[in-house]
């Protein structure tokens, strides 16, 4: 039997349902991606997603207090598993290797953290003494965790995630995190201010919950697996790219003198399937973080020519500019390079480029994540 709820508890219960649904949607959205890494990992994401979506439905009605304790324990377990995968590694995940921090897994864990806070406040709500303090502490934890996300993002914690780097607006998810955190924190504070009986009080609570719903929906959308990356399985187009660096960690920066130039490899391009020839028509930077360098052009190196991650000051003989006359032929992979000029303004990270090309008379575009990172002028130590 569920006990009678206080005036704030229905709002807290519905908010927890929203957060559980959000985390479940993120997990279900990642099933197809992790299926490529093996069915045990995909099954784990499917199981967690289904349980969280089911829990969100159950939370729409009052339940016994033991159910909320079970929800807290289960959610904490999922966060713990995620933490192990990012610090020590899991045996079911790529042979136990430590996984880089990504926006989807980070957001799911942040949402689960908020779920635990809201469920804990729900259980503490009937206590009369210290009620306002409990709401204030819960709001501070919600806002603090959102602030921690923003600080981590600003510090480059998510720059190993190609999905973030290849997004046209990589900071959009941070703005949505801030909006959701503010709305949740504000709602928690208002819920502890007294009985939710006045019309303006109820209206403001509904408004804040609506902001949380919209921000959560936007966050789920922005964390869905996009058609970016390197297309190594040739699923999305006629080109695939092999990265010279990698995304196991944030790319190491290469120093460029102020006013000096450096040619750096982006990746090696190869044709997919039965495509015999592709003409590159444009290379456009999509995501640029920092203004420590300026782009001075793109080139395709001759077949067999390679540049290392430290780059070169002079283009190899036979390099073709993109555009106008750069072409790729089947079984002849070629390295795409960029020339950057140092501006003396610090860091520069090229997170993604969009290639426009023509294959068999059909024009196509694809966005590839990159690992090009330089620093010019006052460069802090790595």
Instruction: Say if residues 235 and 35 touch (Cβ distance below 8 Å).
Output: no
pLDDT digits (tens, 9 = 90+) for 134-180: 999 999 999 999 999 999 988 878 877 766 766 656 788 899 999 99
The three-state secondary structure class of 293 is: strand
Say how far apart CA 266 and CA 353 lie, in whole Å.
Answer: 9
Quick one: which H or E segment has residue 20? helix 9-29
pLDDT digits (tens, 9 = 90+) for 125-140: 877 777 888 999 999 9
pLDDT digits (tens, 9 = 90+) for 12-56: 999 999 999 999 999 998 887 777 667 788 888 999 999 999 999
Say how far apart CA 134 and CA 191 lie, in whole Å.
Answer: 11
How many other C-beta atoms are found inside a 10 Å radius of the C-beta of residue 251?
23
What CA–CA distances, in Å, run from 181 to 44, 55, 119?
Answer: 28, 22, 16
């Amino acid at each position: 039997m569920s006990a009678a709820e206080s005036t704030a508890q229905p709002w807290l219960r519905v908010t927890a349902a929203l957060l559980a649904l959000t985390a479940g949607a993120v997990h279900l959205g990642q099933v197809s991606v992790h299926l490529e890494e093996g069915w045990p990992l995909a099954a784990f994401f499917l199981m967690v997603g289904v349980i969280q979506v089911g829990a969100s439905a159950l939370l729409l009605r009052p339940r016994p207090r033991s159910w909320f304790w079970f929800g807290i324990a289960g959610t904490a377990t999922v966060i713990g598993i995620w933490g192990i995968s990012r610090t020590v590694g899991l045996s079911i995940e790529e042979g136990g290797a430590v996984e880089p921090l990504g926006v989807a897994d980070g957001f799911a864990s942040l949402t689960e953290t908020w779920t635990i806070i809201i469920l804990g406040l729900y259980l503490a709500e009937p206590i009369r003494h210290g009620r306002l303090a409990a709401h204030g502490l819960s709001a501070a934890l919600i806002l603090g965790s959102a602030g921690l996300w923003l600080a981590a993002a600003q510090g480059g914690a998510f720059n190993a995630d190609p999905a973030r780097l290849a997004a046209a607006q990589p900071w959009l998810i941070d703005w949505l995190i801030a909006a959701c955190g503010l709305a949740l924190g504000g709602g928690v504070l208002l819920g502890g201010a007294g009985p939710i009986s006045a019309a303006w009080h109820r209206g403001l609570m509904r408004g804040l919950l609506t902001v949380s719903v919209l921000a959560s929906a936007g966050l789920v959308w922005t964390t869905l697996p996009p058609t970016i990356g390197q297309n190594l399985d040739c699923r999305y187009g006629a080109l695939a790219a092999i990265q010279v660096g990698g995304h196991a960690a944030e790319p190491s920066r290469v120093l460029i003198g102020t006013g000096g130039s450096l040619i750096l490899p982006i990746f090696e391009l190869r044709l997919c399937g039965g495509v015999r020839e592709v003409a590159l028509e444009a290379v456009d930077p999509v995501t640029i973080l920092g203004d420590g360098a300026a782009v001075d052009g793109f080139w395709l190196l001759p077949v067999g020519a390679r540049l290392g991650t430290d780059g070169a000051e002079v283009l190899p003989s036979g390099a073709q500019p993109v555009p106008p006359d750069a072409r790729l032929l089947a079984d002849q992979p070629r390295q795409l390079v960029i020339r950057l000029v140092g501006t003396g303004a610090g860091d520069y990270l090229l997170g993604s480029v969009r290639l426009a090309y023509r294959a068999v008379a059909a024009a196509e575009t694809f966005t590839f994540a990159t690992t090009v990172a330089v620093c010019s002028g006052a460069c802090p130590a790595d």
